[in-house]
Amino acid sequence: MNINKSNYKPFLEVLFVAIPFIWLATGFQWDGDGEMRLLIALIPILIWSLLGNRAKNEFKEFLADRWLQLIACLIVLVSISYLTYGHSSRELRGLVAVFLLLILTPRTFFNTNNYSWFILFYAISSCALTYYFTTIEVTNRGAWPVNAVPFATNIGLCIIMTSSVVYKYKLTVEQKFRCITAIIALIIALINSQSRGPILALSFVSVVFVLYIVITNTSALKYKAIIVLSFITVVAVIVQVPSINNRIGATLSEVKSIQDGNFKGSIGIRLSMYKTGYQIFKQAPIIGIGKDGIDRTLDQMLSESLISPSVHRYARMTLHNGYLDYLVRNGVVGLIVFLMVLISPLAIIKNNGNKDIGAVLALCTFLAVCNVSDFPFINAQCVVMYFLLIGFCLLTFVQNKTE
């Protein structure tokens, strides 16, 4: 990796910094409790920080970094929710892990060369996972180490981030090759996941991304970017045509079933959960009833035959709509906090004086669209990747401005 060794004490320190990123790029998607291993992988950096007297510098960085401060506030709020409402501890572990990762990692580590290596290995690992569970050991998508929907959400975030890096920065030939190879592998992994929500969200954001390039860039670069993105997409789609056709056929069949009054399919169950969630939300619209309250209410509704066993089973995990989930769990207050998570990166980068917020806007928009059909933050892997990639954007843009 391209690390300025004058800023470090040689090999062991660099290794300690790299360990958590190696885990994120390789085993993170293969482990349902990947955020717990990430916390373990951060121990060497924490020890190095304490022994190297970096704590004072890290505290100064915390005071100057609005993104770290937001994550710290979320850790406090989620901790309170966990203690009072029975909130999932996984989201809390994910927030703690990404907070420590961002504050303990030296700022010079966040550069495009390191990112190109990281995303290449992450893409290869993700593509291998989808191939393994769809071809070698065929496994139900819900039984993957990370459920296929949050898995695909992570992939979509990485595709957007990597496309932005290719477009925005002057990369070497080797860096471009690594990033473009990663994008192709990530698109194949996304399509192989057969997760309709993230695929539709990425399609929407891709259109907006290309329009953004066309409108804001008058040079020939915009045409090159469009050609490259189109070529990558076409190659990946051609490779996965049978998978796409099967998923489209299943979707059309479900829509027809719903028109006939059958709500037993994936889409039908989602619609039933949305109706159920709205009924529960009306019980405590301001502060919500928490996860424990949702479970008790669903149990009662099942016993009174107000909902089907399928709706009861899936709704106990999530209502499959992030906005509705926050409203039911934490009321209007919780939804406002989540919207702040989506909007604050745009405000932070604008306050730093950088007007080029395309990558950050694309990441936030993608997550916002994904929340319509799922609840990504119920999975710790999504929490880690979203806050890490946004952090990378903010740090890199600020450094470029300084340089």
Distance CA(125)–CA(123), nearest Å, equals: 5
Query: Can you give the pLDDT at residue 156?
Result: 92
3-class SS at 54? coil
Reported as a single tens digit per residue, the pLDDT across 180-226 is: 999 989 988 988 888 878 888 888 888 777 776 667 665 655 555 55
Query: Can you give the pLDDT at residue 402?
Result: 43
pTM of the model: 0.84
Single out the residue of 222, 245, 320 nearest to residue 275, CA to CA: 320
Query: Can you give the pLDDT at residue 403?
Result: 41
Distance CA(139)–CA(132), nearest Å, equals: 9
DSSP-derived letter for residue 33 is T
Cβ–Cβ < 8 Å for 51, 146:
no
Query: Can you give the pLDDT at residue 48?
Result: 76
Query: Can you give the pLDDT at residue 227?
Result: 58
Single out the residue of 115, 102, 108, 128 nearest to residue 27, CA to CA: 128
Joined tokens for residue 341: 């998570």
The list of the chain residues with pLDDT below 70 reads: 1-13, 52-55, 86-88, 212-214, 216-266, 352-356, 396-403
CA of residue 244 relative to chain centroid, distance: 23
